A and B are shown apart, each in its own frame.
Chain A
Amino acid sequence: MSVRDDIAARMPGGDAGLILAVLATAYLLYVLAGVVLGYDLRGQLNSLATLTFYIGVFAMLSLALNLHWGYTGLFNIGIVGFMAVGVYVMALVSKPTFVAGGAAQVGGLGLPLWVGIIAGMVAAAVLGFVVALPALRLRADYLAIVTIAMSEIVRFSFLSGDLQQFQLFGSKVGFGGGSGLILDFVPPLEALFQSVGLWGVYLGFVDATKVIVPTNPKPVVDGLVYGLLLLTFVTVFFWLLKRTGESPFGRVLKAIREDEDVANALGKDTDRFKIKSFMLGCALMGLAGILWLMPQGAVTPNFFRPRVTFFVWIALIIGGAGSNTGSVLGGATFAALLYQGPRYFQNLVTTVLPNLDSPPGFGQAIGPLISQLDPVPFLLYTIDSIRQLQLVVMGLVLIWLMHNRPEGLLGHRKETASVISLSRPKAAAAATDGGSADGDVQTDGGVDVADNNGGVDDE
């Protein structure tokens, strides 16, 4: 319809091609930045692994949010709460049982990792159900208030001393409170490869990479492989949500987004559809949270501040709500440019111009600008504070997008909510062609296809 569709249309491979092109561009930029920064191969690989990791988690989260907001019109600003519940329940189930004198202050139930992951997703979905039940019957903005309140309640609950440790099935378990929870289960990659009996093969592969990374290649390879695993999950999310959207189910969700009363008047039990969509999205958010924090070794409640929720929203808005392809693109763009980008930019500037001393405080930075119209100290100060300014940059990007491109990079996309293409079936097309020639064609049901002259005129 306009530029964005043309981009996708001109792209070899269509949407997939577009996603690959954006990913390739991001990787190229990071490799170039790495070259300028003088990274060795190990540094380059680590930087790419980190980039892949964040692209993966933000793409997954914005896909899940797209189901809520883009498809169903559910204003969920408690994403991080569902992530937290997913991770903590997974930890509770999968951490090894408590051993006195160990590093971990509390234990878990000691069940396999995959059981924990499923339990975490189920817990997030159940929490979604509990939140949705009262809130979905109210207007959309109330759901927003309830969800953000819920996410803070979840954070404070995990912070509280009462849940720090307790007895469950006779073992000492808990959520660790404010000091955090050590995730001392088998590392996820090891668990994954062991479950398919390929752990030895994987270790052999790691050994072989010594040709490229001579010393201790395992963390580097682990990082890259985990990044690839995340991209696989992004693909699964995409597949699942595409099928969900392109179906009669997705059609009802879209109708609810557009006008719930109409969907209801057409005989759709909209509450049921909304709850199902909400629970599915929450489970996926829980899974994304698990995949984000599982390899980190420890988790603290204060990671789950509302700003993570808003990161996901920015990612979705960049990509364009309502489009799964857009969600992936938005997640990738956000991770590469807004989340990781500023740090790299700062590193680049300090590497290229190593001898610049930035002023120590705001006063010294702004003073020369006012008194001597000398902007250099102010610019240096800005670059030095870029991490703190990251949120400001995100805010500016958001404002710019809202003004100039509210539909996002790929918004307003025609992703038809149907299992099949809705163009006229061949049989029907033939019938109508005949119909317009004869002027009058009766179908088996007695419908006057080429109407107009068959109507009753009472006037």
Chain B
Amino acid sequence: MSDASQPVDDVATKVDEGALGSFASGVQTTEEYPLRVEGLRKSFGGITAVDGATFQVESGSLTGLIGPNGAGKSTTFNLITGMIKPDAGTVTFNGEDITGLDPHEVANRGMVRTFQIARELSEMTVLENMMLAPQRQRGEELWRSVLPGVRNDVREQEEELLERVWEVLDFFDIDHIAEEYAGNLSGGQRKLLEMARALLTDPDMLLLDEPFAGVNPTLEKKLLEHIHELREQGYTFLLVEHDMDLIMNNCEHVIVLHQGRVLTEGTPDDIRSNEEVIEAYLGGNV
């Protein structure tokens, strides 16, 4: 294989780090807790969806965020990633206050999310989906893409990116559907595509919103293997999931949200034996 990290200039270096050729070196987290959420609050009309949620996510961990329906998990995700703006509270990522930044600014800082319902770009091929992801591509400037001469720089970078895209496709075992339109993929393949695409943005941290919803057991196992493997390479994961068993068996740290607040957090064993959690999930009738 060619040397993946051969910087042409600053722009290229950034992209180089992003692609798969250098999984571990792409993670630049120095903080022990890259993500800190403090007193996050958001109301929609009269309903307070998130009501002072405070928690932090440890570097290199696989942290689960659980809670009954309506606990505010998805809203919390949207608040962290800038899809919606909080009424109060702060989000700190790698020591920087990112409260209220736009989603693309959050993504540029190394925190990328996936969506609950896989949102592939259906009229684009899998390859186009993947090529989209790397950050700060030279050809994203219109003049560079159009003007003769400078377009060669773009071409050069595209060739580098393409190699990495294929590596990631191989890694996720979706190389055989590379030329397909993303809209023709099965539900599970879309989930894989979405995670692969998120990975190509060179994140330090991945926020996965119910990555296993509607995924068959075989693929679920495969996705989990990928997540664990990536985590060992230094990526941090925050995972929203409904399936308690899955969270308990895979996460080392679990945060329980209830009515927009952190009810409790701890190791899966702590959570399993916590009366409050059982009550929250079963409505207090146990």
Contacts and interface: CB of A to CB of B under 8 A. Distances in A.
Interface of A: 240, 243-244, 247-252, 254-255, 257-259, 261-270, 273, 276, 280, 322, 412, 414, 416-420, 422-425, 427-428, 431-432, 435, 443-452, 454-459
Given A265-B81, A444-B1, A455-B222, A428 B163 contact: yes
B171 A445 contact: no
A248 B108 CA distance: 17
Nearest to B128: A417
A419 B81 CA distance: 31
Contacts of B125: 414, 416, 422
Nearest to B22: A445
Given A422-B162, A447-B23, A456-B225, A254 B123 contact: yes
Contact of A445 (B4, B124, B197): B4
A419 B173 contact: no
A418 B139 CA distance: 9
A302 B122 CA distance: 42
26 contacts: A243-B146, A243-B151, A248-B131, A249-B142, A254-B128, A255-B124, A259-B119, A265-B83, A265-B107, A266-B107, A280-B142, A417-B124, A419-B158, A425-B163, A428-B1, A432-B166, A443-B1, A445-B21, A447-B167, A448-B229, A451-B171, A451-B225, A455-B228, A457-B224, A458-B249, A458-B250
A1 to B, nearest CB: 10
A2 to B, nearest CB: 13
Nearest to A451: B171
B1 A431 contact: yes
B61 to A, nearest CB: 14
Contacts of A448: 171, 229
B104 interface: yes
A424 B3 CA distance: 17
A435 B178 CA distance: 18
A141 to B, nearest CB: 20
Contact of B170 (A261, A423, A450): A450
B140 A248 contact: yes
Contact of A249 (B83, B123, B141, B228): B141
B119 A262 contact: yes
Nearest to B245: A459
B66 interface: no
A418 B140 contact: no
Given A445-B25, A454-B229, 17 more contacts: A248-B137, A249-B142, A249-B145, A254-B121, A258-B121, A261-B119, A264-B102, A265-B83, A267-B107, A267-B112, A270-B104, A417-B131, A418-B128, A422-B125, A424-B178, A425-B162, A449-B171
Interface of B: 1-4, 20-25, 81, 83, 102-104, 107-108, 112-113, 115, 119, 121-125, 127-128, 131-133, 135, 137-142, 145-146, 151, 154-155, 158-159, 162-163, 165-167, 170-173, 175, 178-179, 197-198, 201, 221-222, 224-226, 228-229, 232-233, 249-250
Closest 5 CB pairs of A and B: A455-B225, A248-B139, A247-B145, A267-B107, A258-B121
A265 B232 contact: no
Contacts of A276: 142
A419 B1 contact: no
Nearest to A454: B229
A322 to B, nearest CB: 8
B263 to A, nearest CB: 25
Given A432-B175, A445-B22, A425 B104 contact: no
B104 A269 contact: yes
Contacts of B137: 248
B20 A419 contact: no
A251 B132 contact: yes
Contacts of B121: 254-255, 258-259, 262
A447 B139 contact: no
A324 to B, nearest CB: 14
A181 B167 CA distance: 62
B21 A428 contact: no
A248 B154 contact: yes
A444 B135 CA distance: 21
A228 to B, nearest CB: 24
B229 A243 contact: no
Contacts of A257: 123
A167 B122 CA distance: 54
Contacts of A443: 1, 4, 20-21, 167
B140 A422 contact: no
B138 to A, nearest CB: 7
Contact of B229 (A267, A280, A445, A456): A456
Given A264-B103, A266-B132, A459 B123 contact: no
Contacts of B250: 458
Contacts of A456: 225, 228-229, 232
Contacts of B22: 444-445
| Residue with the highest number of chain B CB atoms closer than 10 Å, among A257, A265, A454 | A265
Contacts of A435: 170
Contacts of B115: 262, 265
Contact of B139 (A247, A422, A431): A247
B27 to A, nearest CB: 12
B124 A258 contact: yes
Given A444-B21, A445-B22, A447-B167, A261 B128 contact: no
A457 B221 contact: yes
Given A422-B131, A428-B167, A459 B162 contact: no
A444 B108 contact: no
Max count, chain A CB within 10 A of own CB: residue among B102, B107, B124, B175: B124
B1 A458 contact: no
Contacts of B198: 266
Contacts of B128: 251, 254, 416-418, 422
A266 B23 contact: no
Interface centre among B23, B138, B154, B166 (most CB of A within 10 A): B166
Contact of A267 (B123, B135, B142): B135
B253 to A, nearest CB: 14
Contacts of A266: 104, 107, 112, 132-133, 197-198, 201
A447 B124 contact: no
A247 B154 contact: yes
Contacts of A259: 119, 121
